[in-house]
Structure 1
Amino acid sequence: MLDKWLKQSAASGSFHEKNNRSAEDQEYETLEQLQYELSDYVNWFNNHRIHSSLGYMPLKEYRLTNLR
């Protein structure tokens, strides 16, 4: 199941934007290491990655600015 998820993530363009590497090439020693990497990715995706559909703002900034 985990292997399938990682392969699907590798296919995502957003995943490659940040990591510039394939998830298939990654080997996680522990579940905690994988959880850390995923948490880091989600933080980047929500708080730092710009979204063209949101006027080229990070999701967090868009929410703070437009969803009051």
Structure 2
Amino acid sequence: MFKRVVRQSKFRHVFGQAVKNDQCYDDIRVSRVTWDSAFCAVNPKFVAIIVEASGGGAFMVLPLHKVRDL
């Protein structure tokens, strides 16, 4: 006889909240290239995003502490 074990997730009561508009970047056109690669990279200070541009190879690095100042 097999005993069925159901593991309960420790994250079952965790819910996310949407970020307010004053804490977001707006109107960033992320690249639509269908290659299997990462379109962004993040560390505690910056976010880097590959953007849509003619000629390709364009990216932007945005500081996380200056969201609305740009």
TM-score range, shorter chain: under 0.3
Say which one has the larger Rg. Answer: 2
Q: TM-score, normalised by structure 1?
A: 0.22
- Structure with larger RCO (C-alpha < 8 A, sep 6+): 2
Kindly indicate which of the two structures has a greater share of residues assigned to helix: 1
